[in-house]
């Protein structure tokens, strides 16, 4: 007996799912596409900020004041830029910078 061809179910991407949920008018469909594109972009930008924060924390844990201060100096403009663009809130950016700066200073005083 010949085997039946196997049926493959297509998985819709997130953008198609969002588009089909609510969008009825062409404007709403376009807006849905734009929002999905922005969401993906902002997600990667937030991830980049978290990576810079982790680099500073890792340098502080390593105990090297030079590497910690260099990582902090590299992270500050990235954090500020993401706050300016609205990817993260400006108060959250200020809080991260303040806490990291305090940790770096404390590391310098301990050495």
pLDDT digits (tens, 9 = 90+) for 31-66: 999 999 999 999 999 999 999 999 999 999 999 999
The radius of gyration of the chain's CA atoms, rounded to the nearest angstrom, is: 22
Q: Round to whole Å and give the CA distance between 12 and 7.
A: 16
pLDDT digits (tens, 9 = 90+) for 57-111: 999 999 999 999 999 999 999 999 999 999 999 999 999 999 999 999 999 888 7
Domain chopping of the chain, boundaries: 14-110
pLDDT at 69: 95
pLDDT digits (tens, 9 = 90+) for 33-42: 999 999 999 9
Superfamily of domain 14-110: Ribosomal protein S20 (1.20.58.110)
């Amino acid at each position: 007996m010949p085997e039946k061809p196997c049926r493959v179910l297509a998985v819709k991407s997130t953008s198609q799912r969002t588009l089909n949920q609510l969008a009825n008018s062409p404007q709403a469909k376009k807006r849905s596409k734009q929002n999905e594109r922005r969401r993906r972009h902002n997600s990667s930008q937030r991830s980049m900020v978290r990576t810079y924060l982790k680099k500073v924390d890792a340098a502080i844990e390593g105990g090297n004041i030079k590497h910690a201060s260099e990582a902090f100096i590299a992270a500050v403009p990235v954090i500020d830029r993401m706050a300016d663009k609205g990817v993260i809130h400006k108060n959250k950016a200020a809080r991260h910078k303040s806490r990291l700066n305090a940790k770096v200073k404390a590391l310098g005083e301990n050495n």
